[in-house]
Amino acid sequence: MRQVDHRNALRDVAAVGPGMGVLGTSFGLLVVGSGLDWWWAPVFSVVVFAGSLEFLLVALAVAGTPLAAIAVTTLLVNGRHAFYGLSFPLDRIRSRAGRVYGVLALTDEAYALYTARPDTSLSGPRIVTGQALMQACWVGGGTVGALAGSGFGLHVPSLEFVFTALFVVLATEATVVGREATGPLLAVACALVAQLVAPGEMLLVAMGLFVAALLVRRRISAAREAAHA
């Protein structure tokens, strides 16, 4: 049974692991490009493992930002994970150590992968193994990028697009698994409206519109269910 869980985890991560590895490589290049030693890349990736926050922490560390300011920034950037935890299937993980790691390794990618699947197909070992594999891809990519940047002065432009491409893959997979395209179409529509109305604050406006659209859709669905009851 455990081997089946591990194989399923490998299949889960196959679509996003390479993207995380390449994005980790860009992080490693950023670390050495900012003047830090190469070994800071795996240290950040193992201890922090927070994707976009790691990129921000490099800039904060190089600038000598006070710890209090770093703590506040971390709360603002990663505060969404408190809400992720409410719907992430941690209850499927039975061991205490597994649950602790499941919380620490809760990333956007892990959330997208394991909340899109029905609970009946999930097990604790599958979730924890998947999270460990994703972290391994990230740490490995960061180490390779840092070593390459340190040893060869390697510079690869436009790697930041990998982050966008990775989330396109995650959104596509979630849509296919859920067999529901209304949410993604609403998100695209909100993004287009926000770009036209407030291009300078596009992301914030788009997210606000999307939340409002989801609330309206939920209200309409509840009204229809009440009418048919």
pLDDT average, residue stretch 191-198: 90
pLDDT exceeds 60 at position 19: yes
- Kindly state whether residue 165 falls inside one of the protein's structural domains: no
Residue 11 maps to a domain:
yes
pTM to 2 decimals?
Answer: 0.68
The answer on 98 and 37 residing in a single domain is yes
Identify the helix (H) or strand (E) that includes residue 39: none
pLDDT (tens digit, 9 = 90+) per residue, 111-160?
Answer: 888 887 777 778 888 999 999 999 999 999 999 989 988 776 555 555 55
pLDDT in tens, 82-118: 777 878 888 888 899 999 999 888 888 888 888 877 7
Based on the structure, what is the number of domains in the chain? 2
Residue 200 falls inside a structural domain: yes
Share of the chain above pLDDT 70, in %: 86
- Asked if pLDDT for residue 81 goes beyond 90, the answer is no
Residue 164 domain flag: no
In this structure, are residues 186 and 208 in contact, taking their beta carbons and an 8 Å threshold?
A: no
Q: Determine, yes or no, domain membership for 89.
A: yes
In the predicted model, is pLDDT for residue 168 greater than 60? yes
Mean pLDDT of the chain: 82
- In this predicted structure, what is the pLDDT of residue 187? 84
Q: Report if residue 224 sits inside a domain.
A: yes
Please, are residues 164 and 155 in contact by the beta-carbon 8 Å criterion?
A: no
Kindly state whether residues 59 and 114 are assigned to the same domain.
yes
Residue 146 CB contacts under 8 Å (≥ 6 apart), including other chains: 28, 29, 31, 32, 38, 39, 40, 41, 42
Q: Are residues 73 and 134 in the same domain?
A: yes
CA count, 13 A, side-chain hemisphere, 139 = 16
pLDDT confidence tier of residue 205, bands split at 50, 70 and 90: confident
Per residue in 28-60, pLDDT tens?
Answer: 888 888 888 899 999 999 988 887 788 878 878
Alpha carbon separation from 169 to 15, 103, 163, 181 (Å, rounded) = 8, 23, 10, 14
Across 3-17, 63-77, 130-144, 175-189, the highest mean pLDDT is recorded for 130-144
pLDDT surpassing 80 at residue 201:
no
**What residues make up the domain containing 220?**
181-229
